[in-house]
Amino acid sequence: MKKLSFKKGEIIFKNGEPASHIYLVISGEVGLFFSTDPKNPYITIRENETFGEMGVIDNELRQSRSSCLSDCEVVQIEREIFLKKYESSDTLVKALIKSLSVRLREANKKLMRSR
Amino acid sequence: MKKLSFKKGEIIFKNGEPASHIYLVISGEVGLFFSTDPKNPYITIRENETFGEMGVIDNELRQSRSSCLSDCEVVQIEREIFLKKYESSDTLVKALIKSLSVRLREANKKLMRSR
Q: Phi/psi at A48 (nearest 5 deg)? A: 70, 5
**Over chain B, what is the mean pLDDT?**
92
- Report whether pLDDT(B46) > 90: yes
Selected for mutation to probe chain B from A37, A92, A113 (highest B CB count within 10 Å) is A92
Look at phi and psi of residue B9 and say left if phi exceeds 0, alpha if psi is from -120 to 50, else beta: left
Sequence-ordered list of residues with C-beta below 8 angstroms from that of B3, at least 6 positions apart, any chain: B26, B73, B74, B75, B76
What is the pTM (predicted TM-score) of this model?
Answer: 0.84
pLDDT at A58: 80
What is the mean predicted confidence (pLDDT) over A90-96?
Answer: 91
What ipTM did this prediction achieve? 0.84
CA distance A66 to A34: 9
Closest Cβ opposite residue A43 in set B85, B106, B114: B106
Q: Quick check: B60 pLDDT over 90?
A: no
AA identity, residue B111: L
pLDDT value of position B108: 85
What pLDDT sits at residue B112?
81
The pLDDT of residue A107 is 87
The string of pLDDT tens digits covering residues B66-88 is: 999 999 999 999 999 999 999 99
**How many Å apart are CA B78 and CA B65, to the nearest integer?**
18
Q: Is the Cβ of B85 closer than 8 Å to some Cβ of chain A? A: yes
- Checking if the pLDDT of A114 tops 70, the result is yes
A108 CA to centre of own chain: 12
- For the cut 90, the answer to whether the pLDDT of residue A29 exceeds it is yes
- A35-74 pLDDT, tens digit per residue, is 888 899 988 999 999 999 888 888 889 989 999 999 999 9
**Which of A93, A106, A110 has the CB atom closest to B89's CB atom?**
A93
